[in-house]
Structure 1
Amino acid sequence: MKGLDLERLQAYLDSPPLTGTMFAGGRSNLTYAVTDGTHRWVLRRPPLGHVLPTAHDMAREHKVLAALSAAGFPVPRPVRLCTDIEVIGTPFYLMEHVDGTIFRDAAMIEKVDFRALTLTLVDTLADLHALDPAAIGLGDFGRPEGFNARQVRRWKQQLDASRSRELSGIEELHARLAIDIPAGGSGTVVHGDFRLDNVLISDDLRVNAVLDWEMSTLGDPLSDLALMLVYAGRPLLEHDGRPIAPIDIPGHPSLDEMVTRYAARSGRDVRDLHWYVAFAAFKLAVILEGVHYRYTKGQTVGSGFDTVGAMVPALVEQGHRALEGH
C-alpha cells in the first residue's frame, strides 16, 4: 500500500498479519485504517515528498490527543507514537478507531437535521476553547502572545515555500492583513482546521471525535471560528457528483447565527471577526496551494487533487472582500 508498509508495521507491533486501507478525503497527513483481525487502529503519517517546516509533526498530534482525551474532550485516544523512521520510513502514531460518520455527501446530510448538527459543531468548538491549557497539560503547547502576528508571517513563509505559479492578489492580501493585526486575547487550544468533514458524528448527531490535529497549538480562538465560517462557504461536499458548499444545503444556519451561537456559549468578543475571516481565507489559500504544489510534483496519494489549485484565486478574493466588510 502506497505510503504504508504493512509487513514492517506488523514486525514493529509484533502482531498477527495486518490489513489496511487508506481513508479518502485527506489533503495533507495520510491516514489509514489498520487491523490485525481483532484490534482496529488508525495510523497517521506525514505526506509523501514536500514537507513544510513545522508541519506534519506526529509527536505534537500525539501530545494534544493524549491531553484532550484525558480531559474528556471528544478525540480518538492515542495508542502509540513511533519516531523511529526505520520502521515505515517516517514518524507515525496509532490511535484508537472511533465509530461515526463523516459527512462528505449532501445526500447523507439531507437525511439529518443539518441545522442541529452544525450548531453542535459550533458548541464543540466553543467547548474546546473553554479548556484551560495549563490544567490539561498543554501549557507549553504554544505561545499565545503575538499569535496572530506570527501566523501572518508563518503562512507567508509557507506560501513562499510552496510557490509554483503566479497568484494574483495574494501578496496584496498578505500586506493588508499585516497592517492592522488584532492583539487577540488569552490563548486557548486551537484546532487550526476545524470543519464539518474533520468530525465523526454519531447516529444521534453527537460529536464522537474531532480529527486531524496537525495544525493545533495555543493561540487565538477566533482564528478557529473564522476558518469554520470560511469552510462553510467552500465546496467541501458532493452533490450528484458536483462540489457544493455546506451553507448551500437546506437547513444550514446562517453565518450570523453561527457567530451569535459561538459568542453566547464562549462569552468572547467577536467584533474584529472580519480580519480573522480574511486571514482564514488567506491561510486556506496557502494550504491548498501547498496541496497543489505536491500534486504537480506527483507526491499526492488518492484522487481529487487535480481541482485543488483552482480553488485558490476565489479564496484570495474572499480575503480582500472580508477586509472591506463583506
Structure 2
Amino acid sequence: MGTSFSDTIQVRKGEELNNSVLLDFIQNNLKDVPGGGTLEVEQFGAGHSNLTYLLRIGTWEAVLRRPPLGPVAPKAHDMEREYKILSSLNRIYPTAPRPFIFSDNKNIVGSPFFIMERRKGIVLDTDFPSGITYDRNIGRKVSEIMVDRLVELHDIDCTKTQLAKIAKPDGFMERQVTGWIKRYEHSKTDEIPGVNQLMRWLESSIPVSLDPTIIHYDYKLNNAMFSDDFSEMTGLFDWEMTTVGDPLADLGAALSYWIESGDPELLKQGLGKPPVTVREGFFTREEFLEDYAKKSGRDVSTIHFYLTFAYFKLAVICQQIYFRYKKGQTNDTRFAYFDKFIANLIQHASQTAKRV
C-alpha cells in the first residue's frame, strides 16, 4: 500500500525511532548534514505497510523507510532491494527519488532501512489541499500525467539498469498468480465466498505476456507527487514491488487503484473517503486504458485478466495486514474492518473476471 508524502503526523506510539542513535549514524555517514544540530522526526501517516519518516536537522531534510513492526512475510519489505532499484533508476527516470544510504544494522532503527532525498510537492488522495480550487481541467491534467509517466517507465531499456540482474521476466505472471494465491492461503483468517473459484479461474486464464518492461507495480495516485500547478509529477514513491515483468500487470494494478464515480460504494469507501479520482474531469478507467494504449502502442485486449488479478492481489495485501492485526502484531485500529473490504474486493474481482 502507498505512502502519502503530502503531510506528516507525530510519530505513532510504538513506532518511535531512537533519535540520538540515528543522529550519530547520519552525521557519521552522510555528507552536507549540519553538525551539532538536533534531529527532528515526524511520520508520514497515510501508508499501511512500510514505515516512512521525515528527518530534519536544521535546514537539512531526508526521508527514512523501514519495514513494518513485527514479523514480515519472506522477501517482503526488502529495503536493500528498494535502495538498489532507486540507485539504478534515479539516473534515467528522475521522477524516482535519489537514495542516500542503506544500512542493515538493526541497532539503529530496529531493522534494515534506507534514507533518501526529500521531494516536495502535492500528493493527492481523498482531498485537494486547502487553497486549491478544483476544476475538471486539473483532473484531466493529473490523469494524463499519470498515464504519461507510466508509459515513460515502460519505455525504459531495462537491460541498462540493475533490475536486469535481479528480475526474472520469463514466467512472470505464472509466478505472480501462484505466489499471491500462496500468500492468501498463509494469511487466511475467514471463509470468503467465491475466493476458491476466483483462484482457480486465475490459475487457468493467464494470457500470453507482452514483452517485459520495468514495472513499478504499486503505481497509484497517492504514491505520486505533483507540482503546485499540476503541470508535472515531481516524485514517485514506494518502489519496493518494482521488477521486470508484463507491463499489463502494472497497468492492471494502476487501474485497480483508480476508483471512478460509478464504482460500488463499498469499493469507493473501502479505506475511508473516496479518492479524488471520482471527481468530474478525472479519467475513467476506460479512458486511462485508452490513453495508455494510444501512447504506448501496446495491445491491451487482455486487460480484464490483469485487472481481476490486481483486485485479488490488493485483497491479499489487505489480508496480510488484517492477519497481522488479528495476531496482535499491529495495534493500528485502521485495520479492524479490513475483513469487510477484503470480502468486497474478492467479490469485485469475481465480477470483473466474468466481464470477458
Q: Identify whether the pair has TM-score above 0.5, normalized to the shorter chain.
A: yes
Q: 1:110 to 1:195 in 2, by over 3 A?
A: farther
Please report how far the alpha carbon of residue 119 of structure 1 lies from its aligned counterpart in structure 2 after TM superposition.
1.7
Q: Is the 8 A contact 1:106 1:237 kept in 2?
A: no
Per the alignment, residue 235 of structure 1 pairs with 268
Report what 2:25 is aligned to. 12
* Deviation per residue, 1:202-224 (Å, 9 max, x gap): 11211111101111111111111
CA pair 252-303 structure 1, distance change in 2 beyond 3 A:
farther
Deviation at 1:246, TM superposition (A): 4.2
Partners of 2:55 and 2:273 in 1: CA distance: 29
Q: Normalising to structure 1: TM-score of the pair? A: 0.93
Cα distance change of structure 1 residues 270 and 45 upon mapping to structure 2, 3 Å threshold: same
Q: Contact conserved, 2:126 with 2:276, CA < 8 A, in 1?
A: no
Match 1:209 to one of 220, 227, 235: 235
CA gap 1:237/1:68 in 2 versus in 1, 3 angstroms: farther
Alignment check: 8 A CA contact 2:126 2:274 kept: no
Deviation at 1:245, TM superposition (A): 4.3
Q: Aligned partners of 1:126 and 1:62: how far apart in 2?
A: 23
Of 3-12 and 126-135, the range deviating more from structure 2 = 3-12
Mean CA deviation greater in 181-190 or 295-304: 295-304
Q: Where in structure 2 are the equivalents of 1:86-235 lying within 5 Å?
A: 86-108=107-129, 111=134, 113-205=138-230, 206-233=232-259, 234-235=267-268
Tell me, in whole angstroms, the C-alpha distance in 1 between the residues paired with 2:351 and 2:307. Answer: 10
Instruction: Determine if contact 1:104/1:237 at 8 Å carries over to the other structure.
Output: no
The answer on 1:282 being equivalent to 2:308 is: no
Task: State which of 74, 77, 86 in structure 1 corresponds to 2:95.
Answer: 74
- Cα distance in 1 for partners of 2:104, 2:183 equals 24
Structure 1 stretch displaced more, 4-13 or 75-84: 4-13
> CA 1:301/1:77 → structure 2, altered by over 3 Å: closer, same or farther?
farther
Q: Distance in 2 between matches of 1:53 and 1:243?
A: 32
> Any gaps of 5 or more consecutive residues in structure 2?
1-10, 28-34, 260-266
Give identity over the alignment, percent: 34
Q: State the Cα RMSD in Å.
A: 2.0
Q: Mark the runs of 5 or more structure 1 residues left unpaired by the alignment.
A: none
Match of 2:340 among 292, 310, 323: 310
What amino acid is aligned across from residue 152 of structure 2 in structure 1? D
Q: CA deviation at 1:264?
A: 1.2
The residue type equivalent to 2:18 in the other structure is D
Indicate conservation of the 8 Å contact 1:28/1:47, yes or no.
yes
| Deviation digits for residues 274-308 of structure 1 (CA, Å, limit 9, x no counterpart) | 10011001000000111112222333375632333
User: CA separation of 1:110/1:300 partners in 2, compared to 1, >3 Å: closer, same or farther?
Assistant: farther
TM-score by length of 2: 0.85
Relative to structure 1, the CA distance from residue 235 to residue 291 in structure 2 (aligned partners, 3 Å threshold; closer, same or farther) is: farther
Q: Give the letter for the 1:42 counterpart.
A: V
Give the residue type in structure 1 aligned to 2:254: M
Paired residues of 2:277 and 2:283 also in contact (CA < 8 A) = yes
What is the count of residue pairs matched by the alignment? Answer: 323
Give the secondary structure class of the aligned counterpart of 1:243.
coil
Aligned to 2:4: none
